Amino acid sequence: MAYALLELERVRRTKLSLIERILSVGRLRRSYVLTQIDPIIFTRREMEQIDRAMSRNRMPRLRRVKAPAPLPEDHPTRIAEAFRRGLPELMAIDRYERDASGRFDRALREIAKR
């Protein structure tokens, strides 16, 4: 039961941090622009591309992502836009949360049977 409760809490914190990231940065995905605040995490393919370019004494060419429109200034509208931008990820997290909630409910029923 404790594990299920911890899992539920972890899911809720993940959802909150996702929205906070969108509110602070404006997006979830990295920008591929080295001056951005986003942490830079490269895929294996991108690392190979960087290695090849550096071994030839060239600058690596990374794809760039168009910057998103700025978030609105009005607080309720800003929150709504952050949720809209994170909706696909929030839906995936919601499915996981339902599974975790089911595990928690089953654990409670097991305790109640004893």
> In the structure, what pLDDT confidence band is assigned to residue 112 with cuts at 50, 70 and 90?
very high
What is the amino acid identity at position 31? S
pLDDT tens digits along 42-97 = 677 878 888 888 899 888 776 665 667 788 889 899 999 999 988 988 998 999 89
* Spatial separation of the C-alpha atoms in residues 63 and 33, rounded to whole Å: 9
2-25 and 75-85 helices, crossing angle to 10° = 110
DSSP of 43-77? -HHHHHHHHHHHHTT-PPP----PPPPPPPSSHHH
